[in-house]
Amino acid sequence: MKKVIFAFVVIAISIASCTKKSAPTTDVKQSDGATVFAGNCKGCHGAEGVKDSRTPNLQTIALDKNGLINSITHGKGHMPAFEDKLSAAEIAAVADLIVGWHNK
């Protein structure tokens, strides 16, 4: 009986570890925000955050870093949620990139 329970626990842990992207073991650098943005956001928002009238202008958007993190994580309007696609560090790096555009 103990072997069955142990096997079940091992299988459950294996499945759980495959269902959600785990956080990277090292910090994502702010400069990596551009790489994450290019791979996940550029298609809809354009390379510099300004594509067309169908998407918000990210260079002038009225959200602070926390608002950006919330929108990226949970989605907003037509924008999908990225909480299962990007780590918290990657989301923060993209938010830092966008905030940096505001400070140009």
pLDDT at residue 103, rounded to an integer: 77
Domain-located, residue 7: no
Domain-located, residue 38: yes
pLDDT at residue 12, rounded to an integer: 44
36 is in which domain, residue-wise? 26-102
pLDDT at residue 38, rounded to an integer: 96
68 burial via Cβ count (<10 Å: 0-12, 13-18, 19+): buried
Domain-located, residue 55: yes
pLDDT at residue 90, rounded to an integer: 97
Kind and range of the H or E run holding 22: none
Domain-located, residue 10: no
* Regions of the chain with pLDDT less than 50: 4-12, 14, 16-26
Domain-located, residue 15: no
pLDDT at residue 18, rounded to an integer: 43
pLDDT at residue 24, rounded to an integer: 45
- What's the total number of domains in the chain? 1
pLDDT at residue 36, rounded to an integer: 97
Domain-located, residue 84: yes
Q: How many CB atoms lie within 10 A of CB 75?
A: 13
Residue 46 CB-half CA count within 13 A: 12
Domain-located, residue 20: no
Domain-located, residue 21: no
Q: What is the CATH number of the domain that holds 74?
A: 1.10.760.10
